A and B are shown apart, each in its own frame.
Chain A
Amino acid sequence: MRYHTPTSFADAATIAASTTGTLRFLAGGTDVLVQMRAGMVQPDDLIDLKHIPGVDQVVQTPDGGWKIGIAVPGIVLGGHAGLVADWPGVVEGMNLVGSTQVQGRATLTGNLCNGSPAADSVPGLIAAGATVTVTGPVGSREIPVEAVPAGPGKTNLAKGEVISSITLPPRGKNGGDCYLRFIPRTEMDIAVVGCAVSLRMDGDRIVEARVALGAVAPTVILSETCAKAIIGTTLDDAALAALTKAAEGAAKPISDKRGTKEFRIEVAGVLARRAAKIAYDRAKGLKA
């Protein structure tokens, strides 16, 4: 295995484009090293992106959003007061990934590129409307987060392409988000179901909403029907019931070692309801 330490994304893309065997990028390494240890992946080339300047930075964009470097670990996001204030749902999703130790290494970008439908940080990013910058041999492009995963373990990135940053939009006023997941233990599990809700209020009424469901389909789902169920409402019982039904309808899960299809469908509704309430309270400035 060749271990590369490029100092720019352009170089990283060039190396990636030139490889012929199995290639992996290394950010936090919390997935790649596990796969190597298990013998699932034996990379011929491993490109460590952490020598590229700026990858460990979180910076505010001119419009008030946030640009997050691809090697910023969860523990740094969790300790970033500005980010936590704007996007608590995004941060809590990331902070649910693995242990304290894993938080010291794991990154949003890695969690996204691992391509797992159960990735805890992805629903929050999608609900937030986050985008990623993709750098390839011939330049960069900006795509929404939901366009990255292609199915379990797969992404839509082309050969030679690498994500060079994640951008969260400006939170703006009267917004709130939340991510909840269901796991059998209290920690250390892969989500059986995950749900993120991001919304904006006008007074007591929801005027914008995005709802993302994890672990209930081959990729994280951005559900229009869930959003429609609560937009224009005060999140009263009828709206919550409609949201529950919409989430159950949107979920298209399978049964596997972590949960049954029926269980996932039902819990998708439960989590959507609970996450919406928390996001609603956060948008209203209530502590939750």
Chain B
Amino acid sequence: MARDDVKTGYKLIGTRPNRPDGLDKVTGRARYGADFSLPGMLHAAVVRSPHAHARIVKIDASKALALDGVKAVVTRADLPTGLTGEDLNLQDNTLAGERALYDGHAVAAVAATSALLAQDAARLIEVTYEVLPHVTDVDTAMAPGAPIIREGVADYSVPEGMHGNVARYMEFGHGDVEAGFAAADIVREHTYKTEATHQGYIEPHACVGQMGEDGRGEMWVCTQGHWYIRRMSAAVLGIDAANLRVTPSEIGGGFGGKTTIFMEPLSLALSRKAGGRPVKLVMSRSEVLRATGPTASASMDVKLGMKKDGTITAGQVFFRMQGGAFVGMSPIGEALPCAFACYDIPALKHEAVEVIANRPKAAAYRAPGSPMAAFAVESLVDEMCRELKLDPIEVRLKNGATNGSKSSYGPVYNVIGLKETLEAAKDHPNYSAPLGPNQGRGVASGFWFNHGGETSVTLAVGEDGTATVMIGTPDIGGSRASIGLMVAETLGIPYENVRVNVVETGALGVNEPTHGSRATFASGKAAVEAARQAMAEMCRRAAADWGIDPEAVEWKDGAAHPAGPNAGKFPPMTIGEIGSKMGSTGGPISGHHEVTAEGVGASFGTHVVDVEVDPETGRTTILRYLVVQDAGTAIHPAYVEGQYQGGAAQGIGWALNEEYVYGADGRLQNPIFLDYRIPVASDLPMIDTVIVEVPNPGHPYGVRGVGETGITPPLPAVASAIAGATGARIRSLPCSPPKVLAAIKANRA
């Protein structure tokens, strides 16, 4: 059931108009990161470490610099010293310092008059390495005797006596866990593992940077957040943020992976060394996979107590997560609170460590931490449901969090829609579709906090009564359309009369990136506030014209009206009329709102998947897939469905085939889409969606944010469906055919 059919009183919200950038995107005119060119532009290439861990003894660029057309080489020696904390992390990752910390770690960069020449030059830069011991697996890194990769980087949270590769530690909980387990009829405990996966956006990182002798620079870049790019690049280069102007291109997918910098400051550093000529830097796919943010790999112990009626009495988790060779990059702080967020359980204990390993610096990936946590906890819940022959949806309804529940991580849930998603899943025909031989069904729920964040929006009324909205959150999946709908709804004007533009860093206050499912929520909320300000000003203009009190004017249907019979009789003054004479009534009319947006509504979803497993090869086919998720309010239902379907597809990929494969030499063995196997069109069925709407009281139109939760349930749901089809439980993702076949055989034996 789409929202289109539901009576809400809204004129535009819940409809499905064409997105404003659609035309540019179907004609090839939309400009992405690599599509910008400037006069005099150079092209850059990056030299990367082939070793997982090595001391950099010497970098000799003389042969490269001797080539005609090579204009600049940059190494760590060209970057300022003295950085600390995350700034140092960023600089260390942009260019290796004394040591290369993972296969693919950038060591030097070169700019030349063509991309081919830059690549030739990069091959001529001679780097002398002294190879050091390495470790890439999260459990191996925690083993006694594992090489200690980053001595001394552990933060305040790590108690004495922990393994030298532990960089962070966290523990919280409530209730008496031991008493809870004692009260259970069955207590089960298993270890679950997930491999690192990559966001897999199809557009590789790309930017054009220009920086002159005066230290001022500009950058055009594909990013989820250009203020982040500005702040981080300025920090790495030791310049003031105000000296850098960053313009976001259209963005070819991000999923969290484009919320930080990887190579962007290099374009500026090279430009400066090349006399201020602009420098284009575009990653290859293998660079993307080797050196940009995969998510963490995880090894997770889970223990649950359950009564025969399905009541969960206690839960306990211990997560080990590896986020690369840099402290603070694994999502332990998100994974732990997500672990039991769908449940109301009287006693819980959460513990996690972040582990350092010779892998690339992890970045956020769609609901960071939540999919791994869900794989562990939801898999075990399913195992216990099967053991006790209980319906998995009933068990979740029995134990599920609801309005007023105290969450597993502290806050009290206000108004949430988990149970509504469970009920809708139970009622959906997919849940009762008959299953054939070798087929199985899996169910899982998922959670994401959602995020508000720093947000600044300006709205300007045009002379013709149209509205231009300036937002700072890049539009990845249709947010210009949804924000346009909310503004048009608020102003009471046609959707087509609102133009939403994503503007550069010089045009607005600081905005956080499009992350945390926040663009439609936070930029939307600020845009509505800006529209209300403009409406108030337009009411004042009408009041002045009519000679009545501004309080006696109200705004509806795109016009100022006298409010009630006592205000006087005046024909409505439309936004077009007000706009056309604004010059003579006090000047331009605009609204502006900036806020750290609070009032986020937690997001819950429930997925149901049917699979068929070939018992002779272990190969899994997805037969049916259902996503049910609470959107709060679906502003543009087509793009809400798109988020659900896209999240599910990524989760299915993670569950079945995607993984980072490291060799014994510490090198990534599959840095190519041929072997990093994301789902292709023929791998998937249609993905059914049900949009549940439990409006978020913290947003003027009830928006919760829909981007992230959808990737969470597929991991456990697919593994549980495979267990249903085969009787074999896969506790280590991906459920690749060799693993499933081996499990089927072990189960038979």
Contact = CB atoms under 8 A, between A and B. Distances in A.
* Any A–B CB pair closer than 8 Å: yes
Interface of A: 37-39, 182, 184-190, 192, 256-260, 262-263, 266-267, 270
B670 A260 contact: no
A263 to B, nearest CB: 4
A263 B742 contact: yes
A182 B741 CA distance: 13
B307 to A, nearest CB: 39
Contacts of A259: 737-738
A114 to B, nearest CB: 13
Interface of B: 119, 123, 284, 286, 616-619, 656-657, 661, 669-670, 672-675, 677, 679-680, 682-683, 736-738, 741-742
B738 A260 contact: yes
Contact of B661 (A184, A190, A257, A266): A257
Given A37-B284, A260-B738, A267-B617, A185 B674 contact: no
B119 A39 contact: yes
Contacts of A192: 737
A185 B736 contact: no
B657 A185 contact: yes
Contacts of B661: 257
A266 B677 CA distance: 22
24 contacts: A37-B284, A38-B286, A39-B119, A182-B617, A184-B619, A184-B656, A184-B657, A184-B677, A185-B680, A186-B682, A188-B673, A189-B674, A189-B677, A190-B674, A257-B675, A258-B675, A259-B738, A260-B738, A260-B742, A263-B618, A266-B741, A267-B616, A267-B741, A270-B617
Nearest to A271: B617
Contact of B741 (A37, A38, A256, A263): A263
Contacts of A182: 617, 619, 737
A256 B669 CA distance: 9
A182 B618 CA distance: 11
A270 B745 CA distance: 14
7 closest A-B pairs by beta carbon, nearest first, are A263-B738, A186-B682, A257-B661, A257-B669, A270-B616, A260-B738, A184-B657
Contacts of A187: 680, 682-683
Nearest to A182: B617
Contact of B742 (A185, A186, A258, A262): A262
Chain B contact residues: helix, strand, loop or mixed:
loop
Name which of B123, B675, B741 has the most chain A CB atoms within 10 A of its CB. B741
A190 B679 contact: no
Contacts of B656: 184
Contacts of B736: 184
A185 B617 contact: no
Contacts of B682: 185-187
Given A188-B674, A256-B669, 19 more contacts: A182-B737, A184-B657, A185-B657, A185-B677, A185-B680, A185-B682, A186-B682, A186-B683, A187-B680, A187-B682, A187-B683, A190-B674, A192-B737, A257-B661, A257-B670, A258-B675, A260-B742, A263-B618, A263-B742
Name which of B616, B682, B742 has the most chain A CB atoms within 10 A of its CB. B616
Contacts of B657: 184-185
A122 to B, nearest CB: 18
A243 to B, nearest CB: 14
A170 to B, nearest CB: 34
Contacts of A258: 675
Contact of A185 (B618, B670, B683, B738): B683
B399 to A, nearest CB: 35
A256 B670 CA distance: 11
Contacts of A257: 661, 669-670, 675
A186 B670 CA distance: 18
A37 B284 CA distance: 9
A214 to B, nearest CB: 15
A246 B66 CA distance: 60
Contacts of B672: 38
Contacts of B683: 185-187
B287 to A, nearest CB: 11
A153 to B, nearest CB: 16
Contacts of B669: 256-257
A38 B670 CA distance: 13
A54 B669 CA distance: 40
A182 B683 CA distance: 14
Contacts of A188: 673-674, 677, 680
B284 A190 contact: no
B737 A185 contact: no
B679 A185 contact: yes
Contact of B123 (A39, A262, A267): A39
A185 B656 CA distance: 9
B93 to A, nearest CB: 22
Given A185-B680, A257-B669, A263 B616 contact: no
A184 B678 CA distance: 11
A190 B669 CA distance: 14
Contacts of B738: 259-260, 262-263
A185 B738 CA distance: 13
B504 to A, nearest CB: 33
A186 B616 CA distance: 16
A267 B740 CA distance: 13
A186 B674 CA distance: 13
Contacts of B670: 257
Nearest to B674: A190
B121 to A, nearest CB: 13
A186 B683 CA distance: 6
A203 B669 CA distance: 50
Contacts of B616: 267, 270
A186 B682 CA distance: 6
A37 B283 CA distance: 12
Contacts of B284: 37
Contacts of B674: 188-190
Contacts of B617: 182, 267, 270
A184 B674 CA distance: 12
Contacts of A256: 669
Contacts of A263: 618, 737-738, 741-742
A213 B680 CA distance: 26
Nearest to B675: A257
Nearest to B679: A185
A139 B258 CA distance: 57
Contacts of B673: 188
Nearest to B682: A186
A288 B679 CA distance: 27
Contacts of A184: 619, 656-657, 677, 736-737
A37 B672 CA distance: 12
A257 to B, nearest CB: 4
Contacts of A190: 674-675
Name which of A37, A39, A190, A263 has the most chain B CB atoms within 10 A of its CB. A263
A229 to B, nearest CB: 18
Contacts of B619: 182, 184
A190 B741 CA distance: 19
Contacts of A185: 657, 677, 679-680, 682-683
A33 to B, nearest CB: 13
Contacts of A270: 616-617
A187 B680 CA distance: 7
A287 to B, nearest CB: 22
A4 to B, nearest CB: 19
Contacts of B680: 185-188
Contacts of B123: 39
Contacts of B679: 185
A162 B675 CA distance: 30
A184 B737 CA distance: 6
B733 to A, nearest CB: 13
A267 B741 CA distance: 10
A186 B617 CA distance: 13
A186 B678 CA distance: 11
B78 to A, nearest CB: 24
B613 to A, nearest CB: 13
A37 B679 CA distance: 24
